[in-house]
Amino acid sequence: MPDKPSVLFVCVHNAGRSQMAAGWLTHLAAGRIEVRSAGSAPAESINPVAVAAMAEAGIDITGQTPKILTTEAVQDSDVVITMGCGDACPFFPGKRYEDWKLDDPAGQDIEAVRGIRDEIRARIEKLIAELDAR
């Protein structure tokens, strides 16, 4: 479907916030939105505490791997959401850019990551409503 919106989530390591956001959007949008995530300096693997927090919510992100941010990923996305690395993201006119100020789950315990997870879910629900209304 050519008018299917696409969203790219970008954070530094693509191991926590952007992976949780991609997991939520994939789950909640149920195929209506194309989902991508990437990092400006990808980690070796996804943060295990982020994986555990998402599993508690019934979302499995264990199959995901951190990916490098590419110019093509930005070009191919309608919405680009950065989480702490806005300066590393290429800018293209006509794209919607947002910077979500979220705590980094790296090095945090499950209680702290649950709060980040829930804040991301609320933002994703708002984003879906906006994209569905367009």
**Catalytic residue numbers, as ranges:** 11, 85, 89
Residues with Cβ within 8 Å of 130's Cβ and at least 6 positions away in sequence, in order, are: none
Torsion angle defined by CA atoms of residues 33, 38, 44 and 46, in that order, rounded to the nearest 10 degrees: -40
Residue 68 per-residue DSSP state: B
Beta carbons of 84 and 104 less than 8 angstroms apart: yes
Tracing tokens 């070796």 back to the chain, one arrives at: 44
The residue type of 5 is P
Tracing tokens 């499995």 back to the chain, one arrives at: 60
Beta carbons of 15 and 43 less than 8 angstroms apart: yes
